[in-house]
Chains A and B, each alone.
Chain A
Amino acid sequence: MDLLRTIRAEWPVLRIRLLRTRLGLWLVLVVAALLWIERAAPRSDPLTTILQAGTLGAVLCVGYLVGSGADRAALLLPLLHPTTPGALVLGRWAAATGGAALAVLAVAAHTAWTTGAVAASLSAALAGLAAAAAVASCTLALVLTGGNLLATLSFVWLALVGSAPPETVIGVPHAGSIRVALAVVLELAPAPWRYRAISTGDAGALLHAAAWVALGLAAARSLVGRVSLSTR
């Protein structure tokens, strides 16, 4: 079996969903909204905007590529041909990350165009791609477990809280154990604040992203195998 070929076989899924569903429109809206917020904010932070584009784009792409009940049921179809659940999951993840990469590159290109800081935009785009890859993998496992409801929760979480470091949450007065739980999730889960450091070459942040990619793909592979192959 040619692993690369079976991974590439998933790319048309992204193309078809971008052109024939609302995925393309949603990605454009998210990019436009992030650029508008960045422009309206008192202090410009293009890195956060690029990371948000990557993570939110990844959640949207996974939701549109795997999230619906029909999509999850249709995962059986490729498995009736020469492929494995691992290759299928890898291909779907690569397609979702590719879709998010379009959003990252759009925001990074806009930043480079408006600020003229090409090198900084490039390193920020790399951080955005790593963030997109980690979030796509993690969301893939979530969506295979609970469908688009979990994708929506993940989107809201990343949009509202994901950019804040855990110290900010811990600093909020009178929040109790919820505050601690939120801080723990922010500390462990893939989030834009964590991957800011990738743009400065921090190996720890890159390893964190790589670990989430591996963990998410392993969980998704196991779920695809169980859901598609063992039902009676």
Chain B
Amino acid sequence: MTIPLLCRNVRRAFRRRFGGPPIVAIADATFELAAGEIACLVGAAGAGKTTLLRLGAGLLRPDAGVVHVAGTPPYGPHGPVVRRLVGFAPRDPVFPPAFTVREVLEYCARRHTAGRDARTLARDATELAGLDAFVSCRAATLGLAAARRLTLAQCALGARRLLLVDEPFAGLDAISRRDLCDRLQRCATAGATVLLSSADPVGLERLADRVLVLRAGRLVRDAPATVLLGGRVLEVVMDAPPRDPPPGFRVTATGLEADLGHRSAEAALAVCRAHRLGIRASRVRLKGLDDALFDPLEAVPR
């Protein structure tokens, strides 16, 4: 069975307009996605998430390395064929002015097939995105939540097997976020592989099967969400955080922090006391996906 998305040692840089060294957006990324998997690409703004998605969608070519969608490069002469399999939902989509929602989807569907079949494709996409109430509305006048659903509809149109969704939850309220999560999950249940990016990983717990952490263009972590979410964290509040933390601890703004793993909180606190650190308070919390972003990792030069 072919792998829906394979990236191996991918590198992509952008030239500066007025000279100078190029900006390395993706320094090194290697991963592959399985069919029906929902993977979340998390990282700070400028980490290279959008570039990686655009590489997967064939909108950019890698400078080095391999990007394959179902065993074929998504750019060059294969591009139009591969785009039957891969959909891309940009973060800030622009729809043709004066088009209604139905017309936007039919306009896109006509690239896949003709006549009645195109209308059927557009209708299916409308249902998937729950846009039935908006079909006659102008796409440019839609609110953010409906516009994001229209973006998802055009992305999934034609029962594509790989959906690359850029920042789908940015600016959405909790209800719209949950609704979009459910729709993405429905796509994955139907067999599509979903790779979505988010600068804010909060709330992705219930959606992600797997989390890829991108930092300064490097893929620094690739793990199942259950692994990243399974642990407990001990937070220690101190009067003055030490310059050199005890082994297994990291310095935070208010004191120290440590992954507990199989240790008890008491054992970890005993380590602090052994180092003669003044503990003001402590608490244990469950790990969230945002911890994956802040976990101590050696600084990666850009």
Contact = CB atoms under 8 A, between A and B. Distances in A.
A19 B239 CA distance: 70
A84 B79 contact: yes
B80 A17 contact: no
Nearest to B57: A80
B94 A76 contact: yes
B25 A81 contact: no
A74 interface: yes
Nearest to A17: B98
A73 interface: yes
Which of B57, B81, B112, B157 neighbours the largest number of chain A CB atoms within 10 Å of its CB? B112
Contacts, number: 88
A9 B112 CA distance: 10
Given A82-B84, A82-B111, A74 B95 contact: yes
A145 interface: no
Contacts of A21: 97-98
A230 B59 CA distance: 7
Contact of B81 (A1, A70, A77, A79): A1
Secondary structure call for the A interface:
helix
Interface residues of B, number: 37
A70 B140 contact: yes
Interface in A1-28: 1-2, 5-6, 8-9, 12-13, 16-17, 20-21
A70 B104 CA distance: 14
B152 to A, nearest CB: 12
A71 B88 CA distance: 19
B60 A70 contact: no
A229 interface: yes
A83 B79 CA distance: 8
Interface string B46-81: 000011000001011000000000000000000111
A152 to B, nearest CB: 18
B94 A229 contact: no
A99 B192 CA distance: 41
Contact of A78 (B59, B60, B111): B111
B99 interface: yes
Interface of A: 1-2, 5-6, 8-9, 12-13, 16-17, 20-21, 68, 70-71, 73-74, 76-84, 229-230, 232
Given A68-B97, A74-B97, 7 more contacts: A1-B80, A1-B81, A21-B98, A71-B97, A77-B107, A77-B108, A83-B83
List of 8 A-B pairs having minimum Cβ-Cβ separation, nearest first:
A9-B110, A81-B111, A73-B94, A1-B80, A82-B80, A74-B96, A20-B98, A74-B94
